[in-house]
Structure 1
Amino acid sequence: MLLLTGCSPASSDGGRVAGGALDGGMQSAGTLGNDHVRRGQRWWAALPVPYNQSGRPVEITSARFLRVPKGLEIVEYAAYARDDSDGVVMLMEHGSPGMPRLDELENHLRDVNRVKAKAESDVYYGAWLKVTGRISGNLGGCRFEYRQDGRDFEQTLDCDIALRVEKQGS
């Protein structure tokens, strides 16, 4: 008798299978951050823009951070079209001069985002954050859920965002 193990991706919660169609490119390498945040501020932090490295289209249905450190609160998730925001806004304080007003743009979070094979998504995902106190670690673990060929997948891309509360008197 022949027993095969490890031949298919492991199933995770919700019946999704671990996927490998997405890549986060340079946004999945290194740490993005700011050392001058203050309690009460509102910040936007983006997940890596998903690139469909497979030979078949995908439909992205969800995106979120898996690690949210103490001192940060996710106010809401959002998804914006790159064309509407004149590119991808990776990290910014709400209302920063010279930056787009993302909160005034159409939020595509509830829309199914179809990404062609060997193409980058036209929509990027992220979260509005509130600084509630001293931040104890980095925001990270970027989980995407998507459908491909009628099957549901989830995939976690590397991402690391370091926000630190500015010390008093600085």
Structure 2
Amino acid sequence: GFAVTAMPSGVKELGYPVYSEKDTVQYRLDYQFSPVQKSDLNLAKYPDYSGKPFTIEPGAQSDRYAMVKVEVTGPVSGHITGCEIEYNQAGQSFHQPVPCEFALDKS
């Protein structure tokens, strides 16, 4: 599992899609979900693997990556900060906070 811990005012969390680098050709750091936009940045055209468990073998790097899908609803008061990852290893559940920060940019 993946979640952001602090969402600024003016931003609404819509979900956490999970993509495969095998589908998107590379990790995407910016994108649009607008159905009007037909560019390669429109991740809505790729499969979303969220909610589908998968295994990462020891010492391996996963081709999957999570993103946070948001909607700007008003003036944004700051950055999106803090990430949490939940996973199971050898039958035991783990919760790991990870420092992260995302700035929203109008373009």
Q: Could you say whether these structures have the same fold, taking a TM-score greater than 0.5 normalized by the shorter chain as the test?
A: yes
Instruction: Please state which structure has a larger fraction of its residues in strand.
Output: 1
Letter in 1 for 2:75: R
Deviation at 1:94?
3.2
Structure 2, gaps ≥5 residues long: none
Structure 1, gaps ≥5 residues long: 1-61
- Is 1:89 paired with 2:24? no
CA contact (8 A) 1:88 1:124 kept: yes
Letter in 2 for 1:88: Y
Q: Aligned partners of 2:82 and 2:45: how far apart in 1? A: 27
User: CA separation of 1:71/1:164 partners in 2, compared to 1, >3 Å: closer, same or farther?
Assistant: farther
- Runs of 4+, deviation exceeding 3 Å: 93-98
**Identity across matched positions, percent:** 25
Greater C-alpha radius of gyration: 1
Letter in 2 for 1:72: V
- Is 1:105 paired with 2:43? no
CA contact (8 A) 2:32 2:43 kept: no
Q: Give 3-state SS (helix, strand or coil) of 1:75's partner.
A: strand
Q: Give 3-state SS (helix, strand or coil) of 1:90's partner.
A: coil
- How many aligned residue pairs are there? 105
Q: Aligned partners of 2:44 and 2:56: how far apart in 1? A: 24
Q: What is the TM-score when the length of structure 1 is the normalising length?
A: 0.56
- What is the aligned partner in structure 1 of residue 71 from structure 2? 130
Deviation at 1:118?
1.9
CA contact (8 A) 1:79 1:123 kept: yes
The two structures, once aligned, show a CA RMSD in angstroms of 1.9
**1:20-31 equivalences in 2 (<5 Å):** none
Q: Give 3-state SS (helix, strand or coil) of 2:40's partner.
A: coil
Deviation at 1:97?
6.2
Letter in 1 for 2:90: D
Q: What is the TM-score when the length of structure 2 is the normalising length?
A: 0.86
Letter in 2 for 1:125: A
Q: Give 3-state SS (helix, strand or coil) of 2:31's partner.
A: strand
